Structure 1
Amino acid sequence: MTDTTSTRTEDFTAVLNLPISPADVAALFTSAAGVGRWWAPTEGDGAVGGTLITRFGKHGANAMRVLAADPDRVVWEAIAPDGAAPTGHTHEWLGTTMEFDIAPAGGGTELRFRHAGLTPRLGCWDACVDAWTHFMASIQTLAETGTGTPFGT
């Protein structure tokens, strides 16, 4: 089940209850292959200090510096993609963080997502909320069926 909750003054957040182990959930955020299964084609290093670059075809690329890559918490900071055309919202995302908190829950995992700094004050708010809602559903579908709905599928 996906619960996306945001108000007009807060960061975008979502809570997912996933029927897979915390280790399997963490793997979705700590490697390029894992990110590519739910978001978009991704390359790079998902370890702390590494950079992940996710490409959205003609729309450009997002780059994230990995600040934390623990079994229970993954944090990325949005940075300018080096050597790739940025997406149209990159300038608004710079310095924001994407936080994935992972905890055992029942027979599966609770994932709490927060895009800190992505607030209604940004011009991309509506489009970004729509996109994050889609990609949170992609994570849910991936956990339930083994196949997500990343960009380009």
Structure 2
Amino acid sequence: MMKNYSFDIESHQSAKAVFALLLNIKKWWSGIYGETITGKSQKINDEFSFSAGEGMHFTKQKLIELIPYKKIVWEVIASNLSFLENPKEWEHTKLRFDILEKAGNKTKVTFTHQGLSPEIECYEQCSNAWTQYLNNLRENLK
């Protein structure tokens, strides 16, 4: 059974505030590897490009599912991870955020990169990078 990379965050911000921050990808998916983000990610079928590491990582994402204050899913529609034997390894994987309001004015965010599993070449490097970006997100959610 394939185990996808997953990361949980708890915040005292509302689900509405968390949702808005997640859609503003430049606020949390940047500041580590010289990223360039272009395009939009506010409504279904919006697309944005992400480039980092002086071009070593390029992906293009399409917003395919959006449930206000509950879920955001992007599909990776193009991938060029030049440091891998298969630079298209991320294509057709999904970046998913599930948002859950909890008791005590807390919101739980679960990020899952569906398709990023220990069986693929990128897993170690990519999961380490995701952890850095998601810790960045955690800081923005304080």
Sort the TM-score into its range (normalised by shorter chain).
0.7 to 0.9
2:33 equivalent in structure 1: none
Match of 1:44 among 26, 39, 47: 39
**Where does structure 2 lack aligned partners over 5 or more consecutive residues?**
31-35
CA distance in 1, matches of 2:49, 2:22: 12
CA distance in 1, matches of 2:127, 2:6: 9
Shift of 1:70: 1.9
Equivalent pair of 2:39/2:48 in contact (CA under 8 Å):
yes
From the two aligned structures, give the one with the greater strand fraction.
Answer: 2
After superposition, the C-alpha distances for 1:99-122 in whole angstroms (9 at most, x for unaligned) are 100111231310011111111111
- Size of the aligned set, in residue pairs, is 130
1:103 equivalent in structure 2: 100
CA distance in 2, matches of 1:96, 1:57: 20
1:129 equivalent in structure 2: 127
2:7 equivalent in structure 1: 14
The change in CA–CA distance for 1:96 and 1:51 in structure 2 (over 3 A counts) is same
CA distance in 2, matches of 1:20, 1:80: 33
Could you list the structure 1 runs, at least 4 aligned residues long, displaced by more than 6 angstroms after superposition.
Answer: none
The change in CA–CA distance for 1:69 and 1:43 in structure 2 (over 3 A counts) is farther
**Where does structure 1 lack aligned partners over 5 or more consecutive residues?**
1-7, 145-153
From the two aligned structures, give the one with the greater helix fraction.
Answer: 1
TM-score by length of 2: 0.82
After superposition, the C-alpha distances for 1:82-137 in whole angstroms (9 at most, x for unaligned) are xxxx3336511100101100111231310011111111111011001101111111
Shift of 1:61: 2.4
Match of 1:78 among 72, 76, 79: 76
Identity %: 25
Amino acid of the residue matched to residue 16 of structure 1?
I
Shift of 1:9: 4.2
Shift of 1:16: 0.7
Equivalent pair of 2:63/2:74 in contact (CA under 8 Å):
yes
TM-score by length of 1: 0.77
Asked if residue 25 in structure 1 is aligned to residue 22 in structure 2, the reply is no
Aligned pairs (5 A) from 1:85-96:
86-88=80-82, 90-96=87-93
Match of 1:68 among 51, 58, 65: 65
